[in-house]
Amino acid sequence: MDKGIKFDDIWDAKPFDTEKKSCPAGYKHVRAGSSTDECIALKPGMEKAAAFIETRRYIAYLGGTTEFNKYEGVAVNAKDNKLYIAITAIDRGMISNAGEPADHIRLPKLSAGATYTMDMKAGVKDTSGNIIDSPHVAVNMYVEPALLGQDMPKDDKGNTVPEDKIANPDNLFFSEKMRTLFIGEDSTSGHTNNYLWAYNVDTKKLSRILSLPAGAESTGLQVIDNLDGKGAYIMSNSQHWGDVSSNVPAALKAELLKRIDVFRADVGYIGGLPALK
């Protein structure tokens, strides 16, 4: 990095043949985090540079998956060794697409998105048969039923996801003491009003705990389990008030914008929770 390494120092690249839908001999066809087709060959001795500077492109070059769409928040459940990730919308690379260089993920389109759970473990081998030096290697990925979104025709408020389902998850935080995953929405067309949710991983109960002004994103999510023995607090901010979608009926949108200061963005907390030891 200090020597000013460039893309051309790591890769030999050629144009993708759009007529033949192929790459020249000796070059690999990849899509590294976008829909752009690339033909690349790794230059000798550049494995480490590619791995650390061109990580996503190198993953695609080695045959790994780069198809995740709208991959947002990440949270860790240390006790159960689980990882949670928010996929705002299951679309684009995550649905089946003819012509992709590696069509690994083939899911039905779900605009509402989902929050995935990954089970992690130690002693996992890589593709060369070597043990990965980490106890936190994801070996399984799935969606718990309560954390799966649901698309529907728009209602009279402009919602395209039922209000008792999570729409377009974004910000995540896991509280070890509460055994609860908190999920903040960043939705425009899914929910006219975004929500903050709490999901207890033991009881599997999903609770809606905060509603935001129309168009505002639930962000800045942090949970303080015990503040000097005085109580627990859920930090929850909101931004871009009034960013409502075209799904909202014109009369309702006009009324909402009369009531919303679009230059306002609150930073606050939910208090009154008992301290947890």
Q: How far is CA 154 from CA 88, 89, 170, 192, in A?
A: 18, 17, 21, 10
Beta pairing, strands 38-42 & 28-30: antiparallel
- How confident is the model over 166-182, as a mean pLDDT? 96
pTM of the prediction? Answer: 0.92
User: In this predicted model, what pLDDT tens digit does every residue of 37-58 receive, in sequence order?
Assistant: 999 999 999 999 999 999 999 9
- Residue type (1 letter), 7: F
Mean pLDDT of the chain: 94
Going by pLDDT thresholds of 50, 70 and 90, the confidence category of residue 275 is confident
pLDDT at residue 39 in the model: 98
**CA pair distance 186, 184, nearest whole angstrom:** 7
**CA pair distance 180, 276, nearest whole angstrom:** 13
Going by pLDDT thresholds of 50, 70 and 90, the confidence category of residue 127 is confident
pLDDT at residue 201 in the model: 97
pLDDT at residue 98 in the model: 80
**CA pair distance 38, 27, nearest whole angstrom:** 9
Q: How far is CA 194 from CA 115, 141, 171, 197, 210, in A?
A: 16, 26, 12, 10, 9
State the residue for tokens 């928010």: 86
**CA pair distance 38, 61, nearest whole angstrom:** 10
**Percent of the chain with pLDDT strictly greater than 90:** 86
pLDDT at residue 226 in the model: 80
pLDDT at residue 274 in the model: 81
**Which two structure tokens, joined as six digits, stand for 111?**
């605009």
Does 247 score more than 90 pLDDT? yes
